[in-house]
A and B are shown apart, each in its own frame.
Chain A
Amino acid sequence: MQRYTLEAQGIQKSFGGVRAVDQVSFGVRPGEMLALIGPNGAGKSTCFNLLNGHLRPDAGQVKLLGQDITGLAPRRVWKRGVGRTFQITATFGSMTVRENVQLALQSHRGELARIWSPAWRLRGGQADTLLERVGLAGQARRPCSVLAYGDLKRVELAIALSNNPRLLLMDEPTAGMAPQDRVGLMALVAEIARERGMSVLFTEHDMDVVFGHADRVLVLDRGRLIAEGTPDEVRGNALVQEVYLGSGFEPEPAEEPVEC
């Protein structure tokens, strides 16, 4: 058994002289829910993009299950067993919910080169199972383009699960959702993670979500990792309190505008 599912070793990224991510090292343990938090501009998104392959680090290494995946294209990272959801949901609008999940399953099984067999016959049952698990069985036949935002988040979750990931990367999983739906979605993610022994690394602005569901919390500020520990440890950390509003730990406003 590996000690870490995913390990970042001294990863670093600069944009025109600004160090967005500076010498960050951490590990995601098997089966844990790890939250990455920090004020706006702390480097969370950049850090995420270094892990999922959208950006190549200037220095440092990213290891998945002990194997070096630094700088691999996102599609190769996915093939190694990483699922991901986007801050602004990304699904295929010209397909039904079921077809979205089917396609991800077909891609996972290496079936995309089959140009002569009807797609609707492949992996339909598995897609239904996944959709049922995320609570969308009733919406399977609807086009993704007409779904409510909260449901789209669940479609993304089902897509992200279709390669049986060892690690799920979720960028602001509850951004743009109504407060009552946020807790529901994260509870579902936590449940699925436990079932599958899957690790989850997520960034989040909503502190209720973070402290309600994370096993551990990482805190970034100006590109540096300033704290790491259980929610209670992080809550009591003076430096973290300093970073968040100087004094007294105040969660950021819930309706955070979406970062672009």
Chain B
Amino acid sequence: MENLLLQALNGLASASSLFLVASGLTVIFGVTRIVNFAHGSLYMLGAYLAFTIVTNLPRGHAGFWGGVVLAALAVGAIGALLEMLLLRRIYRAPELFQLLATFGVVLVVQDVALLIWGAQDLLGPRAPGLRGSVELLGLRFPLYELVLIGIGPVVLGLLLLLFKRTRWGTLVRAATQDREMVGALGVNQRWLFTSVFFLGSALAGLAGALQLPRESVNLHMDLATITEVFVVVVVGGLGSLPGAALAALLIGEIHAFGILVFPKITLVLVFLVMAVVLVVRPRGLFGKAQMAQAAVASVAEPVLGRAPAQLKWLGFLALVVAVAAPPFLAGDYALIVLTDMAIAVLFAASLHFIMGPGGMASFGHAAYFGIGAYGAALLTKWFAAPMVPALLAAPFCAGLAGVLFGFFCVRLSGVYSAMLTLAFAQIAWSVAFQWVEVTGGDNGVLGVWPDPWATKLNFYWLALGCSVFGTLALRRIALSPFGYALRAQRDNALRAEAIGINGFEIRWVAFVLAAGFAGVAGGLFAFAKGSVFPTALDIPRSVDALLMVLLGGVQTLAGPLLGALAFTGLHEQLVRATDYWRLVLGSVILLLVLAFPQGLAGAVRQWWDSRRRA
């Protein structure tokens, strides 16, 4: 009984800090419609800045709380700067491109923090006067946690007052409902957006700063937090403050009690809850359908044409080089990189299939890659299957997962659908991580070696063959009547329905196909590495795929190919050349986003077209 009470209080404390971060994210989304991946980075910066400021200020109440507030304000200023320099330029870009930009910021911030504060965890000072604990019904509970529990509701109250009682708050609420209209009424939207970013970022910074006495400050705080906060915001309903509060409470308590009740599936639990909420209430607990959003005319995607003859020859030539050159390359390293590239191209092409022609965003495509990889690896481990049957099984395992997960994901649209894909991917990841008896957990599945005939070179050719065949197959499907129907439901759902197209079925089949091809890539990956770890289906891998597709450009069929090559090549070179590869990669992403909003392939095509016209 006492234990339960203690857990409930612990749950409240983490709910409180979750809410602080989530409230910032949800306010920013409500007004700007940007899903800010960098929100976790702002939270991390809050913690680091608070560490520096508090340790440099004189000890005592003023030093500690002053430091916390200063850190929050500083993070708010950083957020505002981010909005003015970067996001302001891309409000009109597609949703996913904004996401890519904010992910670039995540990478940059990670390395900047590494540069300034170093790699080791930092232990901050405890809050003065709150070091002890209090007696509650005969239980000792840390005083600081109790204060934290109080801060959440206080901030919620202040925010609600701010939004209900001030002119600024009224404008923000109006902009959340219909930003075009607010603009038409003569409100200076620029400053409204910047100030909202300031507030949201300051809240993230405050939450980070308040963590100082609770846990060490480290470089993993950003991604660990952002996933959790995404869950909270989506469960609560994007843009809803009370929703965020309720969801934070729910998630915080599930965390606390999950450990007691289901210790084996703690990691899965939160995402299961999110999946259930989204299936039952597609817009979260308090989310509303965005009427104004639908009216915004989207930029028409360009017509998919057959590639110009010169481009075909260029592609053919590149393929010939890719097949014929490797035997003359010195060393295994080049072969390993080339194999990785072939796998990456297929993986990216499979994601592109649902993102481009399908118009569906997926934050969890790694699930199908990883399930393919685990499928092949577990077959060899438990049933001693040879390589070829194991490879053939991979797409079926992934496809089966696609049938199940896709059924739910393709019912939703936009960010909600993307978040549900993320939830399913995290569920798959948690199973791989926690079902130690079968998957080996964190230690992975080892000894997944190719058949003896598959030397490094032969395996490369095999991977290249699968990749080329898979990519061309996806292209062929995209240009079939089915592919046209897929694009039709993306272009205009009403019209598609009115000519007899069942959008749900079409999207579902496309999702399963994409999962299957991702599974092929995953199976190859397992044998290329000789092992599979849970990282094969974690969030960074999903993000890698997103980066490849977005870098290459969503609108062209050649996009994922270019994107995968550019990303893998860049990544490989950078990791070898510098410890700060994230900084470089992030900066490159930011530059690309600002310079080529249609991605690499789109930019090349535009250049090509303008040259032909000239």
Is the pair A78, B481 in contact by a Cβ cutoff of 8 Å? no
Within 8 A of B (CB), among A225-260: 260
Cα distance A107–B499 in the bound complex, in angstroms: 7
Q: Which of B301, B476, B482, B498 contacts A84 (CB 8 A)?
A: B498
B170 interface contact, C-beta 8 A: no
Interface of B is mostly: helix
Within 8 A of B (CB), among A40-94: 52, 73-76, 78-79, 84, 86, 90-94
Q: Which of A75, A106, A116 contacts B484 (CB 8 A)?
A: A106
Chain A hits for B304, CB < 8 A: 94
Is the pair A120, B501 in contact by a Cβ cutoff of 8 Å? no
Is the pair B501, A119 in contact by a Cβ cutoff of 8 Å? no
Chain A hits for B476, CB < 8 A: 116, 118
- Residue in chain B with minimal CB distance to A85: B498
Is the pair B497, A75 in contact by a Cβ cutoff of 8 Å? yes
What's the minimum C-beta distance from A5 to chain B, rounded to whole angstroms?
Answer: 18
Is the pair A74, B484 in contact by a Cβ cutoff of 8 Å? no
Is the pair B480, A118 in contact by a Cβ cutoff of 8 Å? yes
Known: A95-B303, A106-B484. A86 touches B494 (CB 8 A): yes
A176 interface contact, C-beta 8 A: no
Is the pair A93, B495 in contact by a Cβ cutoff of 8 Å? no
Chain B hits for A145, CB < 8 A: 300
Chain A hits for B303, CB < 8 A: 94-96, 99, 143
Most A C-beta atoms less than 10 A away, residue of B302, B304, B499, B500 = B499
Chain A hits for B477, CB < 8 A: 115-116
Total interface residues on B, CB under 8 Å, equals: 30
B179 interface contact, C-beta 8 A: no
- Residue in chain B with minimal CB distance to A115: B482
What's the minimum C-beta distance from B591 to chain A, rounded to whole angstroms?
Answer: 28
Known: A103-B485, A112-B481, A143-B303. A94 touches B491 (CB 8 A): yes
Q: Which of A73, A92, A117 contacts B491 (CB 8 A)?
A: A92
What 0/1 pattern do residues 124 to 159 of A give for CB contact below 8 A with B?
Answer: 000000000000000000011100000000000001
Cα distance A190–B503 in the bound complex, in angstroms: 32
Is the pair B482, A114 in contact by a Cβ cutoff of 8 Å? yes
Is the pair A107, B301 in contact by a Cβ cutoff of 8 Å? no
What 0/1 pattern do residues 468 to 493 of B give for CB contact below 8 A with A?
Answer: 00000000110111111101101110
Chain B hits for A106, CB < 8 A: 481, 484
What's the minimum C-beta distance from B365 to chain A, rounded to whole angstroms?
Answer: 20
Is the pair B480, A95 in contact by a Cβ cutoff of 8 Å? no
Chain B hits for A120, CB < 8 A: 479
Chain A hits for B498, CB < 8 A: 52, 74-75, 78, 84, 86, 90
What 0/1 pattern do residues 157 to 178 of A give for CB contact below 8 A with B?
Answer: 0010011000000000000000
Cα distance A79–B476 in the bound complex, in angstroms: 27
What 0/1 pattern do residues 162 to 203 of A give for CB contact below 8 A with B?
Answer: 110000000000000000000000000000000000000000
Known: A94-B491, A96-B303. A162 touches B499 (CB 8 A): yes
- Residue in chain A with minimal CB distance to B495: A90
Chain A hits for B483, CB < 8 A: 115, 119
Known: A79-B500, A116-B476. A91 touches B482 (CB 8 A): no
Is the pair B491, A119 in contact by a Cβ cutoff of 8 Å? no
- Residue in chain A with minimal CB distance to B485: A112
Is the pair A103, B300 in contact by a Cβ cutoff of 8 Å? no
Q: Which of B491, B499, B502, B506 contacts A104 (CB 8 A)?
A: B499
Known: A95-B303, A118-B476. A111 touches B481 (CB 8 A): yes
Chain A hits for B480, CB < 8 A: 114-119
Is the pair B485, A93 in contact by a Cβ cutoff of 8 Å? no
- Chain B residues with CB under 8 Å of chain A are 295, 300-304, 476-477, 479-485, 487-488, 490-492, 494-502, 506
Report 13 cross-chain contacts, Cβ distance below 8 Å, ordered by A residue.
A75-B497, A84-B498, A91-B492, A92-B495, A93-B300, A93-B492, A103-B499, A104-B499, A115-B477, A115-B483, A116-B477, A122-B481, A143-B300
